[in-house]
Structures are given as structure tokens and as C-alpha cells.
Structure 1
Amino acid sequence: MVPPAHQGTMSSALTRLSVKAARLLGTPPHGYAHLLGLASEHLNDDLCRIPATTGNRIAELTTAHTPWPELSVVLAEQSRIGTLGVWDYLITSAATPLEGIQDASTYFAAVADVGTDTLDIAENGEHVTVSHVNQAELTHEAACAVRAYALGLYQRRLSEAAQRSLVPLRVTLAASAPRRHDVLTELYGTHAIDFEAPTSSITFLAADLKAPTPHAQPGLSSVLRRHAEQSLATAVPLHGWLDLFRAALASVHQEKTPTLATVARRMGVSTRTLQRRLDAHETTWRNEVEILRRADITRMLHDTDLTVDAIAARTGYADARALRRAVHRWYGTTPATLRRTGRSAESGRFSRPGPTG
């Protein structure tokens, strides 16, 4: 299940791909470098989910001076296996290419914003059609590029799974016919391309997709599915400034006890500006640190055998007594009871702690 907070975001891996393609095609970086989520600490962190509007804007800027077929081809060429993380391997590691693309559809949220994009697979007798629907608010040229790239990506991954080039029976694109489309013919390996279609799709022989994947490892797909689920569960969606602040706070917290000055430096602002921003978002430094500590403490109580003293030391509390008081304030119980009952800090039964200073 896709966490509701992930709506409107895409993986940092897919965003990095968009940035790389823009650079290769000479798109001036001053047009997009300031966009939310493109700071290196977010863009290069696979746990971060970047706003889909950021990736969409990069596509719009790129197609403003580059024909959309060229962008779709460059994106496909740069999408080497592993570029999109575990999602890539879901397709190439299943027992058959068809099962792989079905897994990719189930876990499509691992790469894309499923609020606007969908990956569908339909079997019809001897044929299997893989469709991509994109409903994001994009310029026409950018939307054409995204749809064409998606089909090229699916063909590439399915061919890698089969370990041979799979030639589609036909390709349909919900895109206007470009002046030249020889690059698309080369991308898909066929001249059977229809434009102005209701839906973008690519159709293969069912026999090609149902043939056993060479060198498939039994049990690997289930491991990859669990990994995809875990990645989605732990991802940090960046929708606005407060999300960026919390991501910076969490990264500092992993290294040492966080301080206002350290996080301010990480975000490139003064401590005074950081405090003003927190005030504007109706929260405080102390409250945000407590929220982070609560999540860490609850996770350690549930997932480790660390003593209360050890957890207190790791999370910045003076001693076990101070930690016990905090747990009682949050949950009205003791750490031992919380550990025994397995009560989740993220459960809707518990509200976020209110401002404490």
C-alpha cells in the first residue's frame, strides 16, 4: 500500500535521471537548480522522495529547446539496469518477464508518482500490452517525452529479463506525431508506431513474455518485493520546507546529537532564519527534536533488545529516568510496557506531541 504522504512525489533516482538527461541535452541549470529537492543531500539520498513537480519542471525546461523524441531516447539510454534501484530488478529477476513487469506495476510507487502515473498490463490471447498513463499537469511536449520514455524503459527492462531483444508488435503513443521519428523507431526497434492514440502502450507476443527468464534465482523476487515495500515504508517525502528541515534534522541526528546551528548550516541558512521558518510553520526546534526522538525511541524499543539506559544514551537523554518520563508523557505508559505491547509510534491512536517550547 502506498503511504498517502507519498502522493505527489517520485523517487530521487528518477529525479537524478531527469537532471542527468537535462545536463546532457544542454538545458541551462539555472532554470531548475533551485527547485525543491535538488540539493545534493536530498537528490543523492535514496530515502528521499522528491516532489513530482520538480521532475516535471525539468522535463518542461528540457523540451523547451530539445525535441521531445530526443529527450525520451536520452532518458532511455541513461536508464541502465540499477539506475532506478530495486524497481529495475523486480522486472529482471522474476521467473518470467511477464511476472517481472507485473511486480513492477504493483510496486510502481517505488519510482513514480502513482497519483498521476500508472503502469497497466493486459493479456489478450496471444498478446500482452503494457500501458503507461500520465495525467500530470505538463506542457504537451514534456508529456509526450515522458510517455515515450516510459515505453522505451519497459521494453529495455523486459529485453534484459529475457536476455534478448524483444521486438514489439506495435507501439501506440498518446503524443503528436513529430516531424521526424526515426529516433523512436530505433528506440523501439519497430516502424509500427501509431501517434495520437488514446493511451501510450507497447504490445508483445505473450509467448515472449511468458518464457522462463534465463538464470532466474528462486526466491529472489520475494526478497526484492519485501525490499520495495520496506523502501516505500521508510522513504521521506519532501513536499515543502518543513519536510526538508525534518530530512536535514534526521540526517544530523544519525551522526551526532543535533543542534540548531548544525542543521542551519546543513540547510544553508542562519539560525535566526531557521527559527523564523519554524515559527511560521507553527512548530519549534524543541518540538521537532522531540518528535524525532520519540520515533527513534519507539523503534528501538520495538526492534532491538537495547536496555533503557542504552537507548537514553543514544537519543540524548541524561539518563533512563528522563527517558521514562518522556515515554510516559507521550504514551501514558512505561518503556517496558511499550516494548511488550508493541504499540506503534506511527499509529493513529497517538497524536504528535504538541509544542513544548
Structure 2
Amino acid sequence: MSLVRSAGLQKFRQSVEVLGGDAVAYARRAGLPVEALDADELLVEDSALASVLEIAAADLDCPDLGLRVGEAQDFRMLGPLSVAVQHSPSVGDALECVSRYMFVHARDLSVSLVDDPDGAQGILGLRYSLGGGVRPLPQATDMTMLFLHRAVMLLVGGHRYGLQSVDLPHQPVAPRSRYEEAFGARVRFGRAHALLRVPTTLLSRPLEGIDDTLRELALAFLSRQPSQAGSVTTAKVRTVLDQSLGTGSTELVDVARVLAVHPRTLQRQLAAEGESFASLLDAVRRARARMYLTDTDMPLAQVSSLVGFAEQAVLTRCARRWWGRTPTALRREARGTR
């Protein structure tokens, strides 16, 4: 099992509902948390994400569903990675950044530059693959490859960039003309790998409007992300808590429901990773409270509410435990005031 950010499903709900489909029903059939349809930061199984596309495409008799979703997605769904990419000096630097940090978006998904499979001079391949030699399902492949193509177009200002052809490992599930309309180039099916064949000169093409400070901030964040899957359940629970704090329930039973597991099973999985639900909730609250106290002027009562405390006094007690000082003292210290 590999995990991906639920951002990979961006625009899925809208795309199927326009066609009269029931996105919630499809998610349940695929074993996908329903909350993943409207959130970007949940960690979901890549197989469930791919399955929901196949289920919906079959039910709606819409063989180009993956292409439709890929056409609608926003490059910003990659979060900090999109910032680092868009503010790279050149297309080559941007693609190297994608290759290095794609694991932040999907652990086993990789995008890499490879030799042209046809051996043509001045051409190279921008290849998409999954770890472990897994062969991705057609709809997910179509969606990802079209998103990748559109991302390169965005980098060059929305212009054509010399795409020679598109290689896909499966046979066409929609009319060939639909693929070529979407990519604006010849599409070849039943190939060894999924890749875009692009000119080598593309790599040296400079990007416009870059901000070095933004890029460095984004790269600093990306470099701190663990490159191995590590504590899978811990990461999933932390993501749900971070998203729910102040806006939804942070009770164990409700978090377990979001992750589609029994509460006791969730507790056992966390224990196996050396964590507990209470400690994770406490850590998420501590980080959020510190941010509100040091970066905003919110009244303490509002801060208390946003981190899930019923009373301000609870925030004060926790602040003394977390930082050895009151919330007001922490705020003053952060601002260099007495």
C-alpha cells in the first residue's frame, strides 16, 4: 500500500456531478474516505484513488473521465512543491525539483527525465511511474499525464513547448482523437512507460516572474519532509486532526470514521508506531496555539476555541505545561516586548 495526498482527487467530485454521478457513492465503493473528495491534505491509498476513477468512468459510461479531471485540476494542488517549481530559474530546474520532492505529494510516485525511448537526437522523456513496478490503471494514468502536460505548459506561459508525442502503457479507453485533442500531440498506446517526449532545449528555457525568496521558503519546507513512509497511521491521524481542529470533531471515534477504521484498531496501529491519539492531538493543538499566539492578535478566548478548548483557563494550563509560561507571556516574548 502507498499513500497519496487527497489533492490528487481535486475536481473529481465536480467532474462526475456534472455528468449526473454520485461522487460519494463512488468513494464508498472504492474504499475511499468520503472526506477525501473535498480535502487536499488527507492521506489515502493510491489504489483507492485509482479505483474511484475507474468505478465512476464505468458507471457514467465516460471513458475520458481521467482526461476530464486532469483538464480541470489546478497546479496549485501540489502546495509548497508548486511554489518551488513555479519560482525555479528554468524549466530544467523546475523538473528537477519535481523529481526530488514528488514524494511529498505521493510517496511512490516519481517523475524523472530519461533517455528518449526512440533514441531520437535532441529528445528526452519526462516519465511518470509508480514504485515497485506497479502498472497504474488507465484513468489515473490519463489524469496524471494530462496534469503533467498542463503543468509544463503553465511553466512556459501557457504556450506549446515542443511536445513530440505522449506514450501511455495502456490501450486507449477513449477515442484516440480525444487523447490527441487533450494533449495537442500524437499519443502512442501500449508503450513500456508513461512519458512525455519533449525537446532537450526545453530544459534551458528560463521561467518568468520568479521570486527567489518564495522559492527558498518552499524548498526549506520540502527539505524537512521525511522521504520514507515511516509512521503511516501517525501521519494520517495528524493530517485529519490538523484539518479538523477548530472546525470539526477531534474525537477518536470521529477521526477513526474519517479513516474508515475501528477506533480500537486505530489505537493499536498508533501504539505499534510508538504514538497515542492523545499525544498527537496535544501536539497538533500545541503547534496551532503557538502559531495563533505568536503570529496573530486574536483574543485568547478565540485562540482557545480554535484549538478545541471550551474555556480560556484550559489554554492557560496547557501553555504552562507546553512552554512554562502563560499565553500572554509567550505572545509578549515572541514580539520582544515586556
In 2, are the aligned partners of 1:48 and 1:237 still within 8 Å (CA)? no
* Corresponding residue number in structure 2 for 1:80: 74
Tell me how far apart the structure 2 counterparts of residues 59 and 237 of structure 1 sit (CA, whole Å): 27
Report the secondary structure of 2:81's partner residue.
Answer: helix
Q: How many Å apart are 1:61 and its aligned residue?
A: 0.5
* Corresponding residue number in structure 1 for 2:191: 197
* Corresponding residue number in structure 2 for 1:166: 161
Answer yes or no: is 1:128 the counterpart of 2:124: yes
1:100 aligned to 84, 94, 99, which one?
Answer: 94
* Corresponding residue number in structure 2 for 1:334: none
In 1, are the aligned partners of 2:70 and 2:142 still within 8 Å (CA)? no
In 2, are the aligned partners of 1:50 and 1:238 still within 8 Å (CA)? no
Q: How many Å apart are 1:136 and its aligned residue?
A: 8.2
Structure 1 residues 207 and 67 mapped into 2: Cα distance closer, same or farther (>3 Å)?
farther
Answer yes or no: is 1:60 the counterpart of 2:54: yes
Q: How many Å apart are 1:97 and its aligned residue?
A: 1.4
* Corresponding residue number in structure 1 for 2:301: none
2:251 aligned to 263, 282, 287, which one?
Answer: 263
Tell me how far apart the structure 1 counterparts of residues 214 and 7 of structure 2 sit (CA, whole Å): 22
In 2, are the aligned partners of 1:90 and 1:225 still within 8 Å (CA)? yes
Report the secondary structure of 2:43's partner residue.
Answer: strand
* Structure 1 segment 1-357 matched on structure 2, within 5 A: 8-29=2-23, 30-33=25-28, 38-40=33-35, 44-65=38-59, 70-114=64-108, 117-122=109-114, 126-134=122-130, 143-163=137-157, 164-178=159-173, 180-191=175-186, 193-230=187-224, 232=225, 254-255=245-246, 263=251, 266-267=254-255, 288-290=277-279, 292-293=281-282, 314=315
Structure 1 residues 24 and 113 mapped into 2: Cα distance closer, same or farther (>3 Å)?
farther
In 2, are the aligned partners of 1:49 and 1:237 still within 8 Å (CA)? no
In 1, are the aligned partners of 2:267 and 2:277 still within 8 Å (CA)? no
Structure 1 residues 313 and 60 mapped into 2: Cα distance closer, same or farther (>3 Å)?
same
**TM-score, structure 2 normalization:** 0.66
Q: How many Å apart are 1:190 and its aligned residue?
A: 1.6
| Overall identity of the aligned pairs, in % | 12
Tell me how far apart the structure 2 counterparts of residues 218 and 287 of structure 1 sit (CA, whole Å): 40
Q: Which has the larger radius of gyration?
A: 1
Tell me how far apart the structure 2 counterparts of residues 279 and 38 of structure 1 sit (CA, whole Å): 18
Report the secondary structure of 1:166's partner residue.
Answer: coil
In 2, are the aligned partners of 1:49 and 1:238 still within 8 Å (CA)? no
* Corresponding residue number in structure 1 for 2:333: none
Q: How many Å apart are 1:181 and its aligned residue?
A: 0.8
In 2, are the aligned partners of 1:297 and 1:315 still within 8 Å (CA)? no
Report the secondary structure of 1:87's partner residue.
Answer: helix
Listed as ranges, the gaps of 5+ residues in structure 1 are 1-6, 306-311, 325-357
| 1:105-129 superposed Cα distances (whole Å, 9 cap, x missing partner) | 1111232241xx3211136652232
| 1:235-273 superposed Cα distances (whole Å, 9 cap, x missing partner) | x99966x87666555666x549x9xx961674598xxx9
Structure 1 residues 23 and 58 mapped into 2: Cα distance closer, same or farther (>3 Å)?
farther
In 2, are the aligned partners of 1:248 and 1:266 still within 8 Å (CA)? no
Structure 1 residues 184 and 292 mapped into 2: Cα distance closer, same or farther (>3 Å)?
same
Report the secondary structure of 2:8's partner residue.
Answer: helix
Tell me how far apart the structure 1 counterparts of residues 133 and 26 of structure 2 sit (CA, whole Å): 18
In 2, are the aligned partners of 1:69 and 1:181 still within 8 Å (CA)? no
Tell me how far apart the structure 2 counterparts of residues 134 and 245 of structure 1 sit (CA, whole Å): 24
What residue identity is the alignment partner of 1:186?
E
What residue identity is the alignment partner of 1:131?
R
Structure 1 residues 300 and 83 mapped into 2: Cα distance closer, same or farther (>3 Å)?
closer
Tell me how far apart the structure 2 counterparts of residues 268 and 200 of structure 1 sit (CA, whole Å): 36
Tell me how far apart the structure 2 counterparts of residues 264 and 88 of structure 1 sit (CA, whole Å): 33
Structure 1 residues 315 and 133 mapped into 2: Cα distance closer, same or farther (>3 Å)?
farther
What residue identity is the alignment partner of 2:111?
L
| 1:27-83 superposed Cα distances (whole Å, 9 cap, x missing partner) | 43313247666343x655544322223212212212324677612321221123323
Report the secondary structure of 1:215's partner residue.
Answer: coil
Tell me how far apart the structure 2 counterparts of residues 275 and 186 of structure 1 sit (CA, whole Å): 48
What residue identity is the alignment partner of 2:150?
R
Tell me how far apart the structure 2 counterparts of residues 318 and 48 of structure 1 sit (CA, whole Å): 28
Report the secondary structure of 2:137's partner residue.
Answer: helix
* Corresponding residue number in structure 2 for 1:332: none
What residue identity is the alignment partner of 1:120?
S
Report the secondary structure of 1:107's partner residue.
Answer: helix
Structure 1 residues 223 and 182 mapped into 2: Cα distance closer, same or farther (>3 Å)?
same
- What is the root-mean-square deviation in Å for CA atoms of aligned residues? 4.6
Q: How many Å apart are 1:87 and its aligned residue?
A: 3.0
